[in-house]
Amino acid sequence: MPVEPPVTSPRDLAEAYASLAAAPARPIAGGTDLMVALTGEIGEPPDRILDLWRLDELRGIALDGDAISLGALTTYTEVRRSALCREHLPVLVEAAATIGAAQIQNRGTLGGNVANASPAGDTLPVFLAADAAFVLGSARGERTVPASEFWPAYRQTALAPDELLLRIRIPLLAGREMRFRKVGTRRAQSISKVVVALGWRDGSADEPLAPSAPWTDVRLALGSVAATPIRAKATEAALEGRPPTPETADRAAETLAAELQPIDDVRSTAEYRRLVAARVLHRLIREAGGW
């Protein structure tokens, strides 16, 4: 039988920082990823655990100037029920609805998904495409790391051992549209084979342009196709400044198929991922263009 590691449950952030500064410990939020690792069957189990669940400083969804701020302990159920998310970030509500099933959505957190750094983490491409920034904290102070720099390599993050992810900040840009699609073996409890998050701007929120208006600030992020979530920059360039017409969709899908170098693993072949990612992108553009 594996030995259970000792757990510390700080009541506030100052206590959590002091505990982490005194001795390294693995944070636990909802535990839906970490509990699976406790048996030691999939890698080294942690020696000590720091339970974040009582840290109210890591909770809450709020507007913060021209951004929306999501506490690291925000669960998927909270995202789905949040009026602010539904109004300002419906793409995250959509992504949250595809995660696990009700039990996982009640307990699993955004911070856990981000810090776990699985390339199949479903919210990661959304955060990349939305230009999210992660606010990290420790006894040394706070710092902000853009999503584009947060996952440098397979299952690695920008977090130092004594740092916690506090909150996620997503800029709310006028006229920004976002779409999300996850492809798995089934609709619930499925690990993604391909995840696509697409963002663009097509005018201001006050003056929305017709669906045929050219796209700017295009962001295309993919999950489950590489060692980390990635942006498809050549495909973004192929979409930039163009309206969502059939010709644009054909060109973008071709560019993506050529640009992607997907992984081959137990869940899918590289070829499947390439074809599906291109088809998903084509469909998202078609839906946005209304043709």
Q: Find the binder of ligand FAD among 13, 16, 34, 67 (CB under 6 A).
A: 34
CB 90 within 8 A of CB 60: no
Q: From 77-85, 105-113, 202-210, 251-259, give the range in contact with ligand FAD by CB under 6 A.
A: 105-113
Q: From 16-24, 98-106, 224-232, 244-252, give the range in contact with ligand FAD by CB under 6 A.
A: 98-106
SS3 199: strand
State which of positions 152-181 bind ligand FAD (CB under 6 A): 159, 164-165
Distance CA 126, CA 229 (A): 10
SS3 289: helix
Q: Does 99 bind ligand FAD (CB under 6 A)?
A: yes
Quickly count: other Cβ atoms within 10 Å of residue 43's Cβ: 9
Q: Find the binder of ligand FAD among 17, 89, 93, 100 (CB under 6 A).
A: 100
- The two counts, helices (H) then strands (E), for the chain are 11, 12
Per-residue b/e over 174-187, b at no fewer than 16 CB within 10 Å?
ebbbbbbbbbbeee
User: To the nearest whole angstrom, how small is the minimum distance from the Cβ of residue 248 to ligand FAD?
Assistant: 30
Q: Does 119 bind ligand FAD (CB under 6 A)?
A: no
Q: From 4-12, 97-105, 225-233, 271-279, give the range in contact with ligand FAD by CB under 6 A.
A: 97-105
CB 120 within 8 A of CB 192: yes
Binding residues vs ligand FAD (CB under 6 A) = 26-34, 36, 52, 58, 72, 99-100, 104, 107-109, 111-113, 115-116, 121-122, 159, 164-165, 189
